Amino acid sequence: MPAVPSPVVDRRRLSDPALAPIADKIERGERLTAGDGVTLFRTPDLLGLGTLADARNRALHGHRVTFAANQHINPTNICILRKTCVFCSYARLPKEDGAYRYTLDQVLAESDEANSTLTREFHIVGGLDMQAGLDYYTEMFRALKRRHPHVHIKALTAVEIAHLARLARLSIRDTLVALREAGLDTMPGGGAEVFSPGVRATIADKKLAGDEWIAVHRQAHELGIRTNCTMLYGHVETIEDRIHHLSMLRDLQSETGGFLAYIPLAYHPDNNELGETLHRTGTATSAFDDLRNLAVGRLYLDNIPHVKTHWVMVTPFLSQTALHFGVDDMEGTMVREKVYHEAGAHTAQAMALDGLLRLIRGAGKQPVERDSLYHVVRTFDADGATAAAGPQAA
Ligand code: SF4
């Protein structure tokens, strides 16, 4: 990523004096310390935090907001960690009600929705299913590429990659090479949750450890496979856990430069054990915390170019507001989202292009359709006409 251009912060908008030295660092392009990160998470001055994040975001991306036309495919919800990822509402045991595993024909039938939409990306994630090994996915990716050669495949979290490697008794590297040869283009950032061992022991005891998640992404980056990164917030983690997590992401990015985007994921408490234990239902996170996580991500992760808001989780209206809190990228049109709807998301499972354009324009921003690697596909002007197309970096 090129050096971050120096943003200019409007100091009149900062009401918390603790933000002033951080504003100085942001203007000088200095990296924030863990202490600065804690201050940003703790400040009551949400609008001041937004001012800082917006200044950094505008220096990088101007008024442009990108989105991609994508389709989610979740081939199996059967997962061996069903009992230990207590925040998960999606997974089932093999004989449990609602358990499913798609055949290849079912995956292909679902993928054919791409024929009637503008889909340029399949986002494919599922459970850790003992009957869905490396061959299941390599056959799937080959068949999808034959049928939809123009569609990019973003697939399999680090946790799934490690599971497939174990089943196939291959190294992570050889597993990634096999998947890439079959058609995998990039990887999503799920499965990261919160890296701190204490949090993981509480909410995802048997899941791939934080440093193992990092190692899978490092290996992918070394092979030239770009990936995203995430943090699941709003459950039992502390502010210090969040900063520790973000620091690990930032360190890997300094080493490899392989992350495309950071996506904070809001925990949803419906239909999962953790939500019952914490006696929470409905939306667990607050609008304040959702905006704060996005803004801190923009400021603390100074080497990750894009910050994405996931409207399915935090509502389209909050995502729209987030466009002034450091966010330059919105979850796309997204045909058939399942994972967060199982956890109580009350938003739609897909959004039409018109809806996305309306949200972005309503925030005074310029919509830009991108591909999975953030190249510009179409730029829209304020009236909805297609102004330009081309392979520039978004
Ligand atoms: S979060 Fe992922 S690994 Fe954990 S139970 Fe759910 S599907 Fe399985």
Best of 77, 81, 166 for a ligand 1 pocket test (most atoms within 8 Å of beta carbon): 81
Instruction: State which residues form the domain around 39.
Output: 11-61
77 CA: nearest ligand 1 atom: 7
The mean pLDDT value for 292-305 works out to 98
The answer to whether residue 394 is domain-embedded is no
**Separation of 90 CA from ligand 1 center, angstroms?**
7
Q: Do 142 and 25 share a structural domain? A: no
CA 160 – ligand 1 centroid, Å: 9
Identify whether residues 218 and 178 lie together within a single domain: yes
Q: Which atom of ligand 1 is nearest to the CA of 79?
A: 8
Q: Report the nearest-CA residue for atom 7 of ligand 1.
A: 127
Lowest mean pLDDT among 9-13, 89-93, 347-351: 347-351
Contact 120, 371 (CB under 8 A): yes
Q: Render 200-247 in DSSP notation, one character per residue.
A: HHHHBTTS--HHHHHHHHHHHHHTT--EEEEEEESSS--HHHHHHHHH
Q: Which atom of ligand 1 is nearest to the CA of 84?
A: 5
How far apart, in whole angstroms, are the C-alpha atoms of residue 373 and residue 376?
9
The pLDDT, as a whole number, for residue 139 is: 98
CA 308 to chain centre: 7
Distance 85 CA to ligand 1 centre (A): 6
What's the gap in Å between 54 CA and the centre of ligand 1? 34
Q: What percent of the chain has pLDDT over 90?
A: 79
Residue 186 bridge partners (DSSP): 154
Residues 50 and 81 in one domain: no
CATH code of 110's domain: 3.20.20.70
Rounded to the nearest angstrom, the distance between the alpha carbon of 262 and the centre of ligand 1 is: 20
Last residue of a domain, one of 61, 76, 98: 61
**What residue owns the CA closest to ligand 1's atom 4?**
85
Q: Is the CB of 159 under 6 A from ligand 1?
A: yes
Q: How far is Cα 305 from Cα 310, in angstroms, rounded to an integer?
A: 16
Cβ distance 235 to 214 under 8 Å? no
Within a domain: 21: yes
Beta strands 376-380; 366-370: pairing state: antiparallel
What's the confidence (pLDDT) of residue 279? 63
Helix, coil or strand: residue 251: helix
Same domain? For 48 and 100 the reply is: no
**Mutate which of 82, 84, 85 to test ligand 1's pocket (most atoms within 8 Å of Cβ)?**
85
Residue 77 Cα to ligand 1 middle (Å)? 8
User: Are both 168 and 24 inside the same structural domain?
Assistant: no
Residue 219 has pLDDT above 70, yes or no: yes
CA proximity to 76, closest of 56, 96, 59, 62: 96
For residues 49 and 134, membership in a common domain is answered with no
Q: How far apart are CA 125 and CA 116, in angstroms?
A: 22
Per the domain annotation, does 2 fall within a domain? no
Atom of ligand 1 nearest to the CA of 157: 2
Is 91 a pocket residue for ligand 1 (Cβ < 6 Å)? yes
Q: Output DSSP code: residue 262.
A: E
Q: 238 with 342, same domain?
A: yes
- Is the Cβ atom of 82 under 6 angstroms away from ligand 1? yes
Q: Report CA(144)–ligand 1 centroid distance (Å).
A: 24
Kindly state the average pLDDT of the residues 187-205: 96
For residue 294 the two structure tokens come to 């996005």
Evaluate: CB of 208 within 6 angstroms of ligand 1.
Answer: no
Q: Which two tokens stand for residue 106?
A: 């079912």
Write the pLDDT tens digit of every residue in 59-110: 999 999 999 988 999 999 999 999 999 989 899 999 999 999 999 999 999 9
Ligand 1 pocket check for 232: Cβ under 6 Å? no
CA distances from residue 199 to 188, 270, 301 in whole angstroms, order as listed:
22, 19, 21
| Band of pLDDT at residue 228, cut at 50, 70 and 90 | very high
Indicate the number of domains in the chain: 2
Pairing outcome for strands 376-380 and 70-73: unpaired
- Quick check: is 54 in a domain? yes
Asked if 21 and 89 sit in the same domain, the reply is no
CB of residue 265 inside a 6 A radius of ligand 1 = no
Residue 393 pLDDT: 54
Q: Do the domain assignments include residue 78?
A: yes
How many whole angstroms separate alpha carbon 307 and alpha carbon 133?
32
Measure the CA dihedral 135/139/142/148, to 10°: -140
State the pLDDT confidence band at 388, using cuts at 50, 70 and 90.
very low
Q: Tell whether 243 and 181 lie within a shared domain.
A: yes
**Residue 6 located in a structural domain:** no
Q: Is the domain of 40 the same as that of 87?
A: no
Q: Ligand 1, closest atom to CA 127? A: 7
Q: Tens of pLDDT along 21-44?
A: 999 999 999 999 999 999 999 999
Indicate whether 106 belongs to any domain: yes
Q: Give yes or no for residue 151 CB within 6 A of ligand 1.
A: no
- Ligand 1 geometric centre to CA of 91 (Å): 6
Nearest Cα residue to atom 2 of ligand 1: 127
Percent above pLDDT 70 for the chain: 90
340 falls within a domain: yes
Residue 202: is its pLDDT beyond 50?
yes
Q: Same domain for 217 and 332?
A: yes
Query: Is pLDDT at 348 greater than 60 in this prediction?
Result: no
CA 133/CA 140 separation, integer angstroms: 11
The helix/strand/coil state of 285 is coil
Rounded distance from Cα 191 to ligand 1 centre (Å): 8
Which candidate, 391, 390, 377, places its Cα nearest to that of 120?
377
211 and 254 fall within a common domain: yes
